[in-house]
Each structure stands twice: as structure tokens, then as C-alpha cells.
DNA sequence: GTACTTAGCGCG
DNA sequence: AAAGCGCGCTAAGTAC
């Protein structure tokens, strides 16, 4: 069954021709059963209200996300040329997530969305997307997998927002107090920062008026004192031998903690023991997720101590080891590199150690920077130096990323394993390239064009790897989500604890960052969860790469705090 | 006052 | 003497 939710001007919806009042939607969804695939314009618009009513959806199809992928995909076969003007499905912004378990006031209605205006027709759009996929022939299977995974990811993203990441404000406060000193009054510097500011001024022989928070003032004082730095970047300061370096680096680090994840952050983003940040599915060109509000994808290691499971609950924390080089080996069909990732016992090695064991490079560190350089387009330093050796040992993988880079340098599109394509370079890029062929083009123009071309080549080189890794992660996430639900509720956890329905006594995802997940689970299910997370990684590998002998080993920890992982 | 850019740094 | 991908966020600084 594939019901489509069609919004009506009066605020109700139509489901397979039947008019349904919004308040009735949760029971209609429940009645349809778990095999139904709910199709809607935007998961963010419909799913928060269902979750607030305690209803989980097993399968969904997100037309907005599907359209964006198909519209850009070089594998998708549109009936008309791809340069057709953008329609409503191209411009639809995602509905903002506002409802939380304790504040479901805006049930199904995102503020600012004018529901009285007739929107684009989801039934027609679904037919269009189905037809485009079907017409894509050989690529149809991959595109279907990508679209299903993207939609499953959208469900998982809303569920993680609904559940929230368990967060102990007093632990966070203790971290801040230990490193910065007690919380100061508004507008004042914490004690440790104040101390460091004095040390910085003394080392620079600068007046008390010098404000270390002002990069301009600070840089001027540094120039005057003859320190020898021409910027305030950490790496540049680290090279220098001057008494100001040590206090300044510490100041910058603590200042960063204070401004990005200090007391103000805590008050803004943590409520009732949960941190909620909105995940923006497909928010990055490569298909990775972005986040909005609170910087969930950049949680510094130092504050992860505050992420603590509820009493009677535990975390299962898992991350995929060397995901990107493994993905590269698989998409390039590089059996040699895949073998390096399997290790001597064939059960999933540290891939960089495997590269050393293959004799390609002498140390793990060189294997790592070399592979990163290959995937990012590095040319200098030790990364550039080992590149030829890696190219000799793993010609298929290196040729694969080189091909992607060449395509980008020519201004062409590249595509991930499942069919997400890169954008084309913009007008400035093309003008710069054209500038190199003008009759009056100087050396500068040629050099600039070359530099732009190379830069876009580095982008496309990385796009195919990062984007395909994001696809693996989506499949992993989708599989984990399904498996966790199948484990069922724990008999030893009560239904009225701090975890909201429908996850009250069930393991559920609470955090995801590119190649890493955190599951919050009743403690008695933690071992079972860990096994499912492992099984899901293997399943994701099979979904993307079939029988190709690549492995995706995880490091998995069962712990009471996120800080205890690794 | 608002809206923008820049520098810097956190994460993967 | 810092090059090589993708982001979000903050404060300072600038433009209007």
C-alpha cells in the first residue's frame, strides 16, 4: 500500500481519495499498518505531529528530497531536457522542525506555511518521479535505493529530533567551570581567560586596553612586538618561539569553548535534559547531512561528557573505521585495496595498517595522509610524496579519483555510486576559463583559470567519495532504524520515563554524524543493539556493492557517556 | 538598528 | 611554511 498525503485548502488532508481531519491522521496511519509506504511532500511537515501523537512510521517517501536528487542526477532520465525551468518542487524549502514531545502545539502545521494556497500536487509528482526512475533503465535500481535511503534518513532525522540527545546540564557546567572558571556575570570574562589575557598583554608589552578578542588589535600588537606572525592561525603561531604563543593558544582554545559551547549555548539548546538540533537531510551538496541550531555536527570532544544515558539506559556508540577509503576501493572495483581492508584474518582490519602490510608505504601515518591526499587532491608535503607509491600499489582506486578530478577540471558533472550528481560550476568559473583563451589573455589569466579548474577538480574528486560514503551511511542508518524497532520494548523499563513515545521503552537513534551513530537503549538490550548495528553495516555494504569483497568494520562501544567511546 | 563579510576553529 | 574535501557557528568589523 502506498498512500499519498495530499494537503487540502481547508487544512485537512486527502488520503487515497478519502478526506481525513488532521486530528485523525495518526489513527489512520496506525490503521494502515507497518507495510504502508507513506508518500508526502516533506517529512519535516508531517512526521513531527505523528511522533508527538506517539505514532512511528515504518516507511515513507519524501517527494521534495526525491525530486532534488532526480533533478540533478546524471543517471535520471527526464522526458524533457534537464534545463527545464525550476518548478515548485525545486524551490520548496524544508519545513522547519518546531514541535517537540512537550510542545506539540503546531501539530502538522509549520508556522509561516500558507496552507490555504494550493500547493503542488503530490500524486502527480509521485507519478513523475516513478516514471523518471523507471526510464533510467540500468540505473533504476541504484536510484530507487538512493531515494528509499534518503527518505528513511528523513524519518530517522525527525525521530532523533523528537527523542533528543540526553544531556546533563550540570555535567556540562562542571566542564566549563573546570576549564574556564565559574560562570561570570554577563559581559565579563571568565577567570581563566582573564588571567591569560594578562599574560598575553605582558608578553607583548601591550597596554591593558588590548582586547584579545579583537583579531585586528591583537595582530597589530603582535606585529609591534616583533613576534613574526602575519596571521593568528593556530598552525602559524605554533611554529613560533615567543612567550606569547603559549598563553595565546590556550586563550583561543578556551575562548572558542566559551563562545561556541559555553553557558549561553547550554541555555539556548538544552531543555529538560535533551539537546535538540535539527538535522538537514541532504543539506550538503555531496548528500551528507547538515545541521541547524546548536551545531550538532561539531560537538567538541570536551563537552561530550555531558551526553549521559538516562538511568537504566545505556549508549551504543559506533563508528565506521576508514569509511571513505573503503568506499573508494569498492566503487573503483579495487580488489587489492579492498583486501588491505580485510586484514590477515579476513575479518576487517585497520585499513591503513593493511596498506602498510601490503608493502605500499612504510608507516600507518603515511598510509593515512597519503589516502587522504588522494581523496582530497593533496599534492604537497608527505601526502604528495607517497602518492606515487599508492598509485603503483592501488592503481584502480587512484585512477578512479583522478578521473573524477579530470572531469571536474573540464567543468563536467560527476556522480556517486547510487546516482547523486555534483552541481556544475558557476558563471564565474566559466568566465574565468573563457578568459584564458582570449587573445589578450595574460599569464595571470591563464594561471587563474588553471587554478580554478584544479580547485573544481578537487571538489569533484572528493565528491564521488564523500557522496558515496554518505550513501553507505544512509543505508546503515535506515537498516539500524528498522532493526532497532524490531527488537521491541524492554520489559524492564517503564513507559513513563523521560524518553517520549513511541520510543519510551525502546532503543532509538539519538545522534548521527557522517560515519558515526549513537543509540540510546534500555541497558538490558545494549548487547542486542550492538549486534544489530554491526549487522546493519554489513547490510549497507551489500546494498551498495553487492558481492564485492569490501568490508565495513565498526568500532562499537557500550557506555554510559558519549565521552567513553573510543 | 539590520545585513552582510571575514577570520578562525570545531567536527567528520 | 601550511596544503587538500565538506560543513555551522561566533564575534568582530563593515556597509547601509
Whether residue A438 contacts residue A445, with contact meaning beta carbons closer than 8 Å, is answered with yes
- Is A137 within the bounds of a domain? yes
- Is A134 within the bounds of a domain? yes
Judgement on whether residues A344 and A213 belong to the same structural domain of the protein: no
| Angstrom distance, A216 CA to C15 C1' | 18
pLDDT-based confidence at A108, cuts 50/70/90?
low
pLDDT-based confidence at A109, cuts 50/70/90?
low
- Is A292 within the bounds of a domain? no
Q: Decide: CB of A3 under 7 A of nucleic strand C.
A: no
What pLDDT was estimated at residue A163? 95
What pLDDT was estimated at residue A105? 43
Judgement on whether residues A14 and A99 belong to the same structural domain of the protein: yes
| Angstrom distance, A146 CA to C9 C1' | 30
Domain's final residue, options A267, A289, A315: A267
Q: Decide: CB of A253 under 7 A of nucleic strand B.
A: yes
Judgement on whether residues A191 and A134 belong to the same structural domain of the protein: no
Q: Decide: CB of A250 under 7 A of nucleic strand B.
A: no
> In 10 A of CB A124, how many CB atoms?
10
Can you tell me whether residue A72 is helix, strand or coil? helix
Find the residue closest to C2 using CA and C1' atoms: A235
Rg (C-alpha) for chain A, rounded Å, is 26
- Rounded mean pLDDT of A236-240? 82
- Is A308 within the bounds of a domain? no
Of A274, A319, A313, give the one whose Cα is nearest residue A296. Answer: A274
**Beta strand residue intervals within A51-174, DSSP E:** 59-62, 165-166
CATH of the domain at A218: 1.20.1060
What pLDDT was estimated at residue A226? 85
Judgement on whether residues A216 and A334 belong to the same structural domain of the protein: no
- Is A519 within the bounds of a domain? no
- Is A51 within the bounds of a domain? yes
Judgement on whether residues A32 and A148 belong to the same structural domain of the protein: yes
| Angstrom distance, A300 CA to C5 C1' | 20
Find the residue closest to C12 using CA and C1' atoms: A214
pLDDT-based confidence at A100, cuts 50/70/90?
low
With a CB cutoff of 8 Å and minimum separation 6, the contacts of A194 are none
Judgement on whether residues A155 and A7 belong to the same structural domain of the protein: yes
A275: β partners: A165, A270
| Angstrom distance, A292 CA to C9 C1' | 10
Report d(CA A97, CA A111) in Å as an integer: 10
Q: Which nucleotides of C are covered by protein (CB under 7 A)?
A: 1-13
- Is A513 within the bounds of a domain? no
Residue A1 is inside which H or E element, if any? none
Q: Decide: CB of A235 under 7 A of nucleic strand C.
A: yes
Judgement on whether residues A43 and A126 belong to the same structural domain of the protein: yes
Can you tell me whether residue A350 is helix, strand or coil? coil
For the segment A51-75, what is each residue's pLDDT rounded down to a tens digit?
999 999 999 999 999 999 999 999 9
Judgement on whether residues A131 and A12 belong to the same structural domain of the protein: yes
Q: Give the structural domain span for A354.
A: 330-463
What pLDDT was estimated at residue A225? 87
Of A428, A429, A425, give the one whose Cα is nearest residue A414. Answer: A425
Whether residue A521 contacts residue A313, with contact meaning beta carbons closer than 8 Å, is answered with yes
Whether residue A490 contacts residue A526, with contact meaning beta carbons closer than 8 Å, is answered with no
Q: Decide: CB of A233 under 7 A of nucleic strand B.
A: yes
Residues 460-499 in A having a C-beta less than 7 A from any atom of strand C are 462-463, 466
Residues 90-119 in A having a C-beta less than 7 A from any atom of strand C are none
Domain's final residue, options A267, A290, A306: A267
Judgement on whether residues A157 and A174 belong to the same structural domain of the protein: no
- The C-alpha cell that represents A307 in the structure block: 551526553
Using left for φ > 0, alpha for ψ between -120 and 50, and beta otherwise, residue A5 falls in beta
Judgement on whether residues A65 and A205 belong to the same structural domain of the protein: no
Number of domains in chain A: 3
Domain's final residue, options A247, A267, A287: A267
What pLDDT was estimated at residue A90? 87
For the segment A412-465, what is each residue's pLDDT rounded down to a tens digit?
999 999 999 999 998 888 988 998 888 888 888 888 899 889 999 999 999 999
- The C-alpha cell that represents A505 in the structure block: 521503552
| Angstrom distance, A334 CA to C13 C1' | 50
Residues 390-449 in A having a C-beta less than 7 A from any atom of strand B are none
Judgement on whether residues A153 and A175 belong to the same structural domain of the protein: no
| Angstrom distance, A256 CA to B1 C1' | 28
What pLDDT was estimated at residue A106? 47
Judgement on whether residues A376 and A434 belong to the same structural domain of the protein: yes
Report d(CA A566, CA A561) in Å as an integer: 11
Residue A454's nearest nucleotide, by CA–C1', is C4
Q: Which nucleotides of B are covered by protein (CB under 7 A)?
A: 7-12
Report d(CA A367, CA A382) in Å as an integer: 10
- Is A323 within the bounds of a domain? no
Burial class (CB in 10 A: 0-12, 13-18, 19+), A333: middle
Can you tell me whether residue A559 is helix, strand or coil? strand
- The C-alpha cell that represents A504 in the structure block: 519510551
Amino acid at each position: 500500500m502506498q498512500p499519498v498525503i495530499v494537503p487540502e485548502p481547508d487544512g485537512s488532508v486527502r488520503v487515497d481519495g478519502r478526506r481525513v481531519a488532521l486530528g485523525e491522521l495518526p489513527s489512520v496511519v496506525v490503521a494502515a499498518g507497518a507495510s504502508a509506504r507513506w508518500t508526502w511532500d516533506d517529512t519535516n511537515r508531517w512526521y513531527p505531529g505523528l511522533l508527538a501523537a506517539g505514532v512511528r512510521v515504518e516507511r515513507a517517501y519524501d517527494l521534495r528530497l526525491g525530486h532534488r536528487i532526480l533533478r540533478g542526477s546524471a543517471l535520471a532520465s527526464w522526458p524533457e531536457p534537464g534545463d527545464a525551468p525550476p518548478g515548485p518542487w525545486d524551490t520548496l524549502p524544508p519545513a522547519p522542525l518546531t514541535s517537540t514531545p512537550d510542545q506539540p502545539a503546531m501539530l502538522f502545521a509549520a508556522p509561516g506555511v500558507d496552507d490555504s494556497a494550493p500547493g503542488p500536487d503530490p500524486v502527480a509528482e509521485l507519478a513523475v518521479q516513478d516514471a523518471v526512475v523507471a526510464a533510467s533503465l540500468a540505473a533504476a535500481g541504484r536510484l530507487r535505493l538512493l531515494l528509499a535511503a534518503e527518505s528513511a534518513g528523513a524519518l530517522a532525522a525527525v525521530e532523533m529530533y523528537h527523542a533528543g540527545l540526553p544531556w546533563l546540564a550540570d555535567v556540562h557546567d562542571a566542564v566549563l567551570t573546570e576549564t574556564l572558571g565559574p560562570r561570570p556575570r554577563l559581559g565579563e570574562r571568565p577567570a581563566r581567560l582573564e588571567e591569560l589575557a594578562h599574560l598575553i598583554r605582558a608578553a607583548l608589552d601591550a597596554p591593558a586596553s588590548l582586547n584579545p578578542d579583537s583579531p585586528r588589535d591583537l595582530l597589530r600588537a603582535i606585529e609591534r612586538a616583533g613576534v613574526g606572525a602575519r596571521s593568528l592561525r593556530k598552525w602559524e603561531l605554533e611554529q613560533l618561539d615567543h612567550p606569547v604563543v603559549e598563553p595565546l593558544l590556550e586563550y583561543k582554545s578556551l575562548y572558542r569553548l566559551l563562545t561556541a559551547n559555553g553557558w549561553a549555548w547550554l541555555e539556548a539548546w538544552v531543555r529538560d535534559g535533551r539537546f535538540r538540533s535539527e538535522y538537514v537531510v541532504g543539506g550538503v551538496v555531496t548528500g551528507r547531512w547538515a545541521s541547524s541550531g546548536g551545531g550538532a555536527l561539531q560537538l567538541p570532544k570536551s563537552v561530550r561528557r555531558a551526553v549521559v544515558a538516562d538511568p537504566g539506559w545505556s549508549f551504543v556508540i559506533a563508528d565506521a573505521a576508514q569509511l571513505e577509503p573503503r568506499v573508494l576501493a569498492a566503487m573503483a572495483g579495487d580488489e587489492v585495496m579492498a583486501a588491505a581492508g580485510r586484514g590477515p584474518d579476513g575479518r576487517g582490519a585497520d585499513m591503513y595498517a593493511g596498506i602498510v602490510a601490503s608493502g605500499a608505504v612504510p608507516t600507518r601515518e603515511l598510509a593515512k595522509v597519503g589516502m587522504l591526499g588522494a581523496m582530497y587532491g593533496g599534492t604537497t608535503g608527505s601526502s604528495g610524496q607517497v602518492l606515487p607509491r599508492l598509485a603503483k600499489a592501488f592503481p584502480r582506486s587512484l585512477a578512479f579519483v583522478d578521473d573524477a578530478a579530470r572531469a571536474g577540471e573540464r567543468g563536467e558533472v560527476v556522480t556517486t555510486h547510487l546516482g547523486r550528481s555534483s552541481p556544475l560550476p558557476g558563471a564565474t568559473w566559466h568566465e574565468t576559463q573563457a578568459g584564458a583563451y582570449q587573445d589578450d589573455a595574460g599569464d595571470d589569466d591563464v594561471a587563474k583559470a588553471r587554478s580554478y579548474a584544479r580547485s573544481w577538480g578537487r571538489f569533484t574528486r572528493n565528491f564521488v567519495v564523500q557522496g558515496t560514503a554518505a550513501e553507505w551511511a544512509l543505508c546503515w542508518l535506515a537498516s539500524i532504524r528498522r532493526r532497532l524497532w524490531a527488537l521491541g520494548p524492554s520489559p524492564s523499563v517503564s513507559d513513563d520515563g523521560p524518553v517520549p513515545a513511541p520510543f519510551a521503552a525502546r532503543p532509538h537513534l539519538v545522534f548521527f554524524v557522517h560515519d558515526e551513530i549513537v543509540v540510546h537503549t534500555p541497558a538490558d538490550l545494549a548487547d542486542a543493539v550492538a549486534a544489530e548495528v554491526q549487522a546493519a553495516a554489513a547490510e549497507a555494504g551489500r546494498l551498495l556493492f553487492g558481492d564485492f569483497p569490501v568490508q565495513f568494520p565498526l568500532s562499537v562501544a557500550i557506555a554510559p557517556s558519549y565521552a567513553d567511546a573510543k
